[in-house]
Structure 1
Amino acid sequence: MTEQLSRWDAADYLNTDEDIQLYLEACVEDDPGDGSLIRLALGDVARARNFSELARDVGVSREGLRKALSVEGNPSFALMVKITHALGLTMQLTSMPESHPN
């Protein structure tokens, strides 16, 4: 008997603002420190919403946005701010807990 597997896609489960917030918070916490997980998570959120519309809103091509939010992507900080604002999100910086290694 062959088992059928389907590809799991986080974007399929990001149905509410709360889902998106909790998902992004977890990805920020688990990011290895290079922003790769955060970029991928923003890509998931963009796909859950309207990727083409987001690309227009931030002033890049759909392909440019896909590349910027990929594992290999290296978007500017300005583009990341534009993306978060276009998604209706804000970034917040807080102090790390003292137990967190530097």
Structure 2
Amino acid sequence: MTENRGAISHYEAELAELRADPELAVEYLKAAMQSLDDPEDRAAALLALRTVAEAYGGLAYVAAEAGISREALYRALSPKGNPTLKTLLAVLKTVGLRLSVEPMSSAAA
């Protein structure tokens, strides 16, 4: 078996890209947040926010800065998580983002 020296996982590459390009992180989260409209697919948005949190310091750092326990953050941003608005806002603020509202497109209405 050939050893891949210097190779990084897809996840690590994704984290590096999100960390290097804040606009990419915003678009990544925007796309994932659209899944919140579908009760069967809400996990995508939570996992995307978790990935961005990992990219911007890691879950332990984000939890400490957001004023919540690391365990609570792991639970809130798990596929079956159900974060409170307070938690969601604190995490977004910690990674330099904020919650925003925009009208639904006429096609989706």
Relative to the length of structure 1, the TM-score reads 0.80
Identity, in percent, stands at 28
Which residue is 2:108 aligned to?
Answer: 100
For residues 8-27 of structure 1, the aligned pairs below 5 Å read 8-9=10-11, 10-14=14-18, 15-27=20-32
Aligned CA RMSD, in angstroms, stands at: 2.3
Where structure 1 has 5 or more consecutive residues not aligned to the other structure, the ranges are none
Structure with the higher fraction of residues in helix conformation = 2
Distance 1:28 1:48, change over 3 A: same
- SS of alignment partner, residue 70 of structure 1: coil
For residues 42-61 of structure 1, the aligned pairs below 5 Å read 42-51=49-58, 52-61=60-69
Where structure 2 has 5 or more consecutive residues not aligned to the other structure, the ranges are none
Which residue is 2:85 aligned to?
Answer: 77
Name the CA distance, whole Å, in 1 between partners of 2:72 and 2:43.
16
Count how many residue pairs are aligned between Structure 1 and Structure 2: 99
Structure 2 residue identity aligned to 1:20: A
Name the CA distance, whole Å, in 1 between partners of 2:83 and 2:50.
12
Runs of 4+ in 1 over 4 A off after TM superposition: none
Structure 1 residue identity aligned to 2:69: S
Measured against aligned partners, the alpha-carbon deviations of 1:37-84 in whole angstroms (never above 9, x if no partner) come to 221111000111112211101111222211110101111111101111
Name the CA distance, whole Å, in 2 between partners of 1:30 and 1:54.
23
